[in-house]
């Protein structure tokens, strides 16, 4: 399953050259991840309130392929690569029409209130695992 999230590029997203500032791509994929998790049926606010568990990015690998510009409507595509009780690895890319602008691989973990790692919620692992390709 590929989750798709669209958003428009606003002036505030761009730099002096009129292209999207590189760090803002991370904001776009963060928004898309939040929507992806929501569509999997996990309420992050309730999870934090009820268990104290929050999600954190452990690792990001990013390739900037081509710039987005003011007023472009981009699509962030999110797909699980693999899931375990300890972490989920997602492929996240940003597209403008049929052209890839940004490619990343993001590893998510869960943290207890004391900042220590904990198991990811089963509902999230199960849902992501059902949609992730099998390990070879």
Q: Would you name the residues annotated as active-site residues? A: 15
Question: Can you tell me whether residue 68 is helix, strand or coil?
Answer: coil
SS3 23: coil
Question: Two tokens at 77?
Answer: 């595509």
32-68 in b/e form (b: 16+ CB < 10 A) is: bbeebbeebebeeeebeeeeebebeeeeeeeeeeebb
Residue 44 C-alpha from the chain's centroid:
14
- Tokens 């761009």 correspond to 14
């Amino acid at each position: 399953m590929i989750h798709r999230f669209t958003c428009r590029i606003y002036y505030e997203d761009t730099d002096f050259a009129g292209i999207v500032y590189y760090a803002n791509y991370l904001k776009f994929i963060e928004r898309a991840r939040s929507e992806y998790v929501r569509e999997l049926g996990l309420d992050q606010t309730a999870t934090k309130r009820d268990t104290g568990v929050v999600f954190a990015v452990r690792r990001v690998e990013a390739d900037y392929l081509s710039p987005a510009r003011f007023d472009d409507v981009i699509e962030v595509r999110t797909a699980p690569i693999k899931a375990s009780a300890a972490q989920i690895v997602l492929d996240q890319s940003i597209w403008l029409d049929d052209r890839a602008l940004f490619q990343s691989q993001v590893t998510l973990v869960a943290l207890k209130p004391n900042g220590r790692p904990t198991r990811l919620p089963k509902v999230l692992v199960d849902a992501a695992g059902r949609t992730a390709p099998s390990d070879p």
